[in-house]
Amino acid sequence: MPGVSRRRFLKGTAGAAGVASAGVLLAACENEPSDSGPNTEPLTEAAVAFDGEHQAGIDTPSQASLNLAGFNLKDGVDGRGVARLMRLWTEDARELTAGRNPLSSLEPEMVEWPANLTITCGFGERIFDIANPGVKPRWLHDIPTVPREQLQNEWGQTDLVLQICSDDPVMCAWALRHMTRAGMDYVKTAWLQQGFVNAYGSIPKGQTPRNLFGQVDGTVNPKSDEEYREQVFAADGSTSLVVRRIAMDLDDWERLDRASREVAVGRKLDDGAPLTGGDEFDAPDMNAKDEYGLPVIDKNSHMARAMPPADHPEQRFLRRPYNYTLPPAPGELSNAGLIFLAYQKDPDVQFTPVLERLMEADRLNEWTTHIGSSVYWIPPGTAAPGGSSQGGARGDTFWGETVLSGDRG
Amino acid sequence: MPGVSRRRFLKGTAGAAGVASAGVLLAACENEPSDSGPNTEPLTEAAVAFDGEHQAGIDTPSQASLNLAGFNLKDGVDGRGVARLMRLWTEDARELTAGRNPLSSLEPEMVEWPANLTITCGFGERIFDIANPGVKPRWLHDIPTVPREQLQNEWGQTDLVLQICSDDPVMCAWALRHMTRAGMDYVKTAWLQQGFVNAYGSIPKGQTPRNLFGQVDGTVNPKSDEEYREQVFAADGSTSLVVRRIAMDLDDWERLDRASREVAVGRKLDDGAPLTGGDEFDAPDMNAKDEYGLPVIDKNSHMARAMPPADHPEQRFLRRPYNYTLPPAPGELSNAGLIFLAYQKDPDVQFTPVLERLMEADRLNEWTTHIGSSVYWIPPGTAAPGGSSQGGARGDTFWGETVLSGDRG
């Protein structure tokens, strides 16, 4: 994490780490005056607290590498089996993210420097159906069909998801390897979405990362604890994850001149400022007209369509997008896009209205195609078993304990 | 580059950068006393000199991300076409690696922080055949068939290769994107091999990286300028690249206990030291016996088979391996391996005898399968056109100019 050594923090304060959650530290960091200097905090010292009110990997600054793995339950695995899996996965994730070797692993050398590793778990609808249907969130269902999407089954809904992120790609690969192996009696891999953003320290502090269209991506994200409480985390620390896989047609996009690209986005390419001026974080003036009386910001620009309308301020969520590139199909120049990860309390209220507005008329639609979609409930944070009451608001010692205990007895 | 800011160097010394080539700087750095502390050189300041006696990206410390792209010429492209492509590719690579925007690019924001970007070009046999058969190196042919390999055409020989490496995955993706687009009139992508090693600063200085078997990988690499001259660079700065794609069966490998893994490798897993003791860089004692009179280092261990015999000290080369992980096939836990990049003056003399010895009896063969193979001539380094005579030993201003000029007139 830029500018703050979580590991040093963890080591220095031991038991208190559970209380001062990742979110608190983060907010403190992000509220500091912006610093455009380089990152000099050694990555070898960087670790993210695992236990806390909510899971890590959500308000954690995006680490360079993503392995997002969708898993389906093997035949015959019931709610009790899921609980056993969650108990062992939680324990192993707690060890890996702290740079300790999980009990079942013979490879202590591979886990020494977690490099801000986070492992975040989500439940698909089916987990509730088999384990505790009575408490299934009402928003936990497929995102409604929207115009233009071309969803492919191979990137569809799964029973479980692990979002594994690290600033070291070897650590990221190893953590996926370990978790897959640890869960092999219960689940099989359905898909793996591998993504990347800028490396730790590779862009100046305070610089919003760019996607492969050259857009800064994440400008309007929540920053303060209060914004996270409003938009992302429920009172118990749970949230939701919507995964949209979005193919981006770089070849066509790059035929546009810069002015046309900026019209499509609604922002300047160089600094991400709204076309009506100011800097990246200034509000756009949607009523501004140019010398010919035309709107400066096109009503169908990506920014204009994505903005919450005045009467729906709740249409905000956390974007945690990752780029992907794959070998191009024969005859193509590229095969690239976004693994668009959206975290919010309630997708029906916060996410889907924005998606629908975008798919209806966003100028960027000409160069983007949604090819995958899935939705997960993200269990609250956890507390280490046997520890004090610090940690998850509900005292869960493993992911989803409260939900899965409904299947007991 | 750990511990040395190339960018600062480049900026500070301007025209002299061509003389003090990457290799000189590197050697200076690597000969320093080893420092186990963390890396604190800001990655935003890191750039690698493009022009020099040999191409960058060979003796450059391995950057975190690899895009290795194989290209085939489009129908009708002759030697003159290749020369035109090389002229524009060299120019664009020179700009990108310095953090400057190539002339043809509308995306200056994407290239600002190269993060040790290197772009290294290689010629397959066919380039000589069509442009200048008389100067084709005698070793430029397919690696001879060896036992156990299961080569797949999709990872086979191509006309050209670009090895693109950066410590920032976005920069690495963007550089590939730009180069592919810039070359689209001349070449089409045949394959793309995407790999990774530890992130910049994610392991302590002096730590040899590990592959996904947990082995330290690269211990015996050349380090001094003299070793590079002996093993890697011809007098004109050219060299060769052998690419072997090696699938690794993690699932079976991890069924072994640690002692069995160490026997197979011939080294200790924790620190990479030979099983006969000392540290990672100490020579193994191949004659040592244990208390039962058995060899401490198995004669068929990977280390023993890879070592040059006493009468063939020339069987050494530069290993620059990258890990890969891909989505597992249905029912599998993993799909991982190595993109094994070997640089040497003469593969017939240095590489192939080692490969043959390994494929005959290396214990590691039980868990590895060679699935791809290709060989390239790596043109010497270049000098910026219009500059002084600094740079490439032959004064080439673009990759392979001397070879391709044979087709002129």
Interface of B with A in 80-119 (CB under 8 A): 106-110, 112-113, 115
SS3 string, A278-329, reads CCCCCCCCCCCECCCCCECCCCCCHHHHHCCCCCCCCCCCEECCEEEECCCC
Q: Do B336 and A173 touch (CB under 8 A)?
A: yes
Structure tokens that stand for B352 in this block: 């192939």
Q: Which helix (H) or strand (E) holds B22?
A: helix B22-30
Q: Please give the Cα distance from A399 to A164 (Å, whole number).
A: 15
For B203, the closest of A40, A113, A174 (CB atoms) is A113
Chosen for mutation from A1, A35, A202 (greatest number of chain B CBs closer than 10 Å) is A202
Per cent of chain B over pLDDT 70 is 88
Does residue A305 have a pLDDT over 90? yes
Q: Note whether B167 contacts A: Cβ–Cβ < 8 A.
A: yes
B-chain CB neighbours of A173 within 8 Å are 196, 212, 323, 325, 336
Q: Please give the Cα distance from A81 to A74 (Å, whole number).
A: 10
pLDDT digits over A49-77, tens only? 999 999 999 999 999 999 999 999 999 99
Which of residues A180 and B39 earns the better pLDDT score?
A180
DSSP A183-242: TTTTEEEEEEEEEE-PPTTSS-TTPPPB-TTS-B--TT---SHHHHHHHT--TTS-EEEE
Q: Please give the Cα distance from A288 to A363 (Å, whole number).
A: 19
Q: Do A169 and B201 touch (CB under 8 A)?
A: no
Which of residues B22 and B296 earns the better pLDDT score?
B296
Q: Please give the Cα distance from A285 to A267 (Å, whole number).
A: 12
Does residue A245 have a pLDDT over 60? yes
A-chain CB neighbours of B188 within 8 Å are 330-331
Q: Note whether B169 contacts A: Cβ–Cβ < 8 A.
A: yes
Interface of A with B in 273-302 (CB under 8 A): none
A-chain CB neighbours of B173 within 8 Å are 196, 212, 323, 325, 336
DSSP 8-class letter at A366: G
Q: Please give the Cα distance from B283 to B267 (Å, whole number).
A: 11
- Residue A31's pLDDT band (boundaries 50, 70, 90)? very low
Does residue A169 have a pLDDT over 50? yes
Q: Do A336 and B177 touch (CB under 8 A)?
A: yes
Q: Please give the Cα distance from B203 to B255 (Å, whole number).
A: 27
Q: Note whether B209 contacts A: Cβ–Cβ < 8 A.
A: yes
Q: Do B325 and A201 touch (CB under 8 A)?
A: no
Q: Note whether A269 contacts B: Cβ–Cβ < 8 A.
A: yes
- Residue A386's pLDDT band (boundaries 50, 70, 90)? confident
Contact B257, B351 (CB under 8 A): no
Residue of chain A whose alpha carbon sits nearest to that of B172: A198
Residue of chain B whose alpha carbon sits nearest to that of A322: B170
- Residue A385's pLDDT band (boundaries 50, 70, 90)? confident
- Residue B51: which of B355, B409, B397, B379 has the closest Cα? B397
Chosen for mutation from B116, B202, B268 (greatest number of chain A CBs closer than 10 Å) is B202
Q: Do A200 and B199 touch (CB under 8 A)?
A: yes
Q: Do B270 and A109 touch (CB under 8 A)?
A: yes
By three-state DSSP, how is residue B192 classified?
A: strand
Does residue A17 have a pLDDT over 80? no
pLDDT digits over B83-138, tens only? 999 999 999 999 999 999 999 899 999 999 999 999 999 999 999 999 999 999 99
Query: So what's the pLDDT on residue A218?
Result: 87
Task: Report how many domains make up chain B.
Answer: 1
Q: Note whether B219 contacts A: Cβ–Cβ < 8 A.
A: no
Give me Rg for the CA atoms of chain A.
21
Contact A123, A407 (CB under 8 A): no
Does residue A41 have a pLDDT over 80? no
For A196, the closest of B170, B201, B212 (CB atoms) is B170
Q: Is residue B1 part of a domain?
A: no
Give me Rg for the CA atoms of chain B.
21
CA distances from A383 to A306, B151, B204 (A): 37, 50, 31
Residue of chain B whose alpha carbon sits nearest to that of A261: B106
- Residue B40's pLDDT band (boundaries 50, 70, 90)? low
Does residue A127 have a pLDDT over 50? yes
Q: Do A170 and B209 touch (CB under 8 A)?
A: yes
Does residue A42 have a pLDDT over 90? no
Q: Is residue B169 part of a domain?
A: yes
Give the range of the structural domain holding residue A131, as residue numbers without chain letter. 6-407
Q: Note whether A259 contacts B: Cβ–Cβ < 8 A.
A: no
Does residue B282 have a pLDDT over 90? yes
Q: Please give the Cα distance from A94 to A86 (Å, whole number).
A: 12
Q: Do A198 and B168 touch (CB under 8 A)?
A: yes
pLDDT digits over B364-398, tens only? 999 999 999 999 999 999 998 876 555 666 789 99
Strand partners for A324: A337
Q: Is residue A359 part of a domain?
A: yes
Please count the residues of chain A.
409
Q: Is residue B47 part of a domain?
A: yes
By three-state DSSP, how is residue B392 classified?
A: coil
B-chain CB neighbours of A112 within 8 Å are 203
- Residue A391's pLDDT band (boundaries 50, 70, 90)? low
Does residue B7 have a pLDDT over 90? no
Q: Note whether A253 contacts B: Cβ–Cβ < 8 A.
A: no
Chosen for mutation from B170, B179, B200, B216 (greatest number of chain A CBs closer than 10 Å) is B170
Estimate to the nearest angstrom the gap between the alpha carbon of A75 and the chain centroid. 29
CA distances from A398 to A380, A404, A407 (A): 9, 10, 15
A-chain CB neighbours of B115 within 8 Å are 199, 202
Contact A336, A212 (CB under 8 A): yes
For A210, the closest of B110, B269, B333 (CB atoms) is B110
- Residue A115: which of A37, A195, A32, A201 has the closest Cα? A201
Residue type, A185: D
Strand partners for B165: B66, B118
Contact A35, A206 (CB under 8 A): yes
Contact B396, B86 (CB under 8 A): no
Q: Do A198 and B269 touch (CB under 8 A)?
A: no
Give me the residue label for tokens 């400022």. A273
Give me the residue label for tokens 């772009």. B119
Q: Is residue A1 part of a domain?
A: no
Query: So what's the pLDDT on residue B406?
Result: 63
Here the ipTM equals 0.91
pLDDT digits over A184-235, tens only? 999 999 999 999 999 999 999 888 999 999 999 889 999 999 999 999 999 9
- Read off the pLDDT of each residue in A235-247 and give the average, rounded to a whole number: 98
Contact B65, B169 (CB under 8 A): yes
Residue type, A191: W
Q: Please give the Cα distance from B114 to A157 (Å, whole number).
A: 37
Chosen for mutation from A170, A255, A269, A333 (greatest number of chain B CBs closer than 10 Å) is A170
pLDDT digits over B103-117, tens only? 989 999 999 999 999
Q: Is residue B261 part of a domain?
A: yes
Q: Do A196 and B323 touch (CB under 8 A)?
A: no
Query: So what's the pLDDT on residue B331?
Result: 87
Which of residues A37 and B221 earns the better pLDDT score?
B221
DSSP A50-95: --SSS-SSSSSPPPSEEEEEEEEEPTT--HHHHHHHHHHHHHHHHH
Torsion angle of C-alpha atoms B149, B153, B159, B161, degrees rounded to 10: -70
Least confident of A144-148, A386-390, B50-54, B176-180: A386-390
Residue of chain A whose alpha carbon sits nearest to that of B108: A270
Q: Note whether A184 contacts B: Cβ–Cβ < 8 A.
A: yes
Return mean pLDDT, chain A.
Answer: 89
Query: So what's the pLDDT on residue B387?
Result: 65
- Read off the pLDDT of each residue in A383-399 and give the average, rounded to a whole number: 78
Does residue B139 have a pLDDT over 50? yes
DSSP A116-160: S-EEEEEE-HHHHHHH-GGG--TT-SPPPP-TT----GGG---SE
Residue of chain A whose alpha carbon sits nearest to that of B107: A214
Per cent of chain B over pLDDT 90 is 83
By three-state DSSP, how is residue B370 classified?
A: strand
Q: Is residue B83 part of a domain?
A: yes
- Residue A310's pLDDT band (boundaries 50, 70, 90)? very high
Q: Is residue A334 part of a domain?
A: yes
Q: Report the phi/psi class of residue A110: left, alpha or beta, with left for phi > 0 and alpha for psi in -120 to 50.
A: alpha
